[in-house]
Amino acid sequence: MSYIRRGTHKFKMVNLALFAGGFCTFAILWGAQPLLPDLAKEFHISPAVSSLSLSSATIALSISLLLFGSLSEVFGRKPVMTFSLFVSSILCILTAFTPNFHLLIVSRILQGVALAGLPAVAMAYLGEEMEPKSLGMAMGLYISGNSVGGMAGRIISGILTDYFSWHIALFGIGIISLLASIVFLKILPPSTHFKPQKFALKQLTGSLLSQFKEPGLLYLFGIGFLLMGSFVSLYNYIGFQLIKPPYSLSQTLVGFIFIVYIVGTFSSTWMGMLSDQYGKRKILLLSLLILLIGACMTLNTSLWFKIFGIAVFTYGFFAAHSIASSWVGKAATHDKAQASALYLFFYYAGSSIGGTASGAFYGHFGWSGVVTMIVVLALTSIVVSFRLGSKTRLSKLEKLQQSS
């Protein structure tokens, strides 16, 4: 059984399917983000409390990733991903009818659980089916689907909320996601290199914990946590900043600011290819520096300069996430779905913790408080990436010594 190579018809079908799956997953997950000011106003709650509608979904998703990653080792990659997409799409439609904030939180938690199936398994699927030389680009294309889904979900929900209500916004995203799920089911090829395991809780738990012993994986988990904490901190509260004077933008215009996600679609693929050519460590560091610069640029009071800073920040984030994601698949020596699930567990835990914590910074210090928190997280991730490079080089040296 040959591996899938770049340029073939099968390569295109896999990436189109995972693009559709990523679109569905992240439109549902992040489509609630532009709704935060409306939720705060309608339910008479603070910005930090309104962010729980997002954090509740991401923390539920992060925990469920560990379950779905293990289940896919037993039931297969495509069945688990397909189940996740259809159930989460239906739940998104039902969430549109929630009458109060408490029920909305419960609905978002259920969505977070259901959404975990695709991100927990997609990276492992690619790691198993793609030839090594094509993996960087394939992972970048998958991440680009995530970025387009996140962008479209935010824009659609912003427009529909402005002209109708946040209920209609969630309903519309659910219908679109259901259609994307059908596309995924029809065109994704079944796994050819997957070997199912028997369901043994002790064995699955042991293999999950053993991932922490793999060289470099723990540092990659930390980078994922810090990256997503930074990303959600910026996007959760930029809407609050821009609907206030002196900007006073409408929800539709704030929603369209998320079109800067297009640069993430480009950077995840382009920087992923560069990492294949020049090495993951160098391009990861470059990406983190770009993220840091972009965050600092948003402190400028000029609207256009602020938007440009958001674009630069987004470019660096998706590039770094793409590289770290593919690095996990390379660093894991067994049960790659579990390793990917652990990376994403820390990634979304960073979203939940960072997104809520930065709300306190915004409440006390305004936008400069949010940016200060992002700078601290970004600098920490740069330090961790240096440690990762040292650990990786040491591991390679030890393997060479053992083989000689």
With a cut of 90, say whether residue 396 has pLDDT above it: no
Domains and CATH numbers, the chain: 9-187+202-403 (1.20.1250.20)
Tell me the average pLDDT across 4-10: 76
Closest CA to 320 of 219, 227, 225, 226: 227
Percentage of the chain modeled with pLDDT above 90? 24
pLDDT digits (tens, 9 = 90+) for 339-363: 777 888 888 888 888 878 888 888 8
pTM above 0.75, yes or no: no
Tell me the average pLDDT across 131-158: 77
* Omega cis (within 30) before 246: yes
φ/ψ (deg, to 5) at 294: -60, -40
Question: What b-and-e string marks burial along 346-355, b requiring 16 or more CB atoms within 10 Å of the CB?
Answer: bbbbbbbbbb
pLDDT digits (tens, 9 = 90+) for 385-395: 888 766 655 45
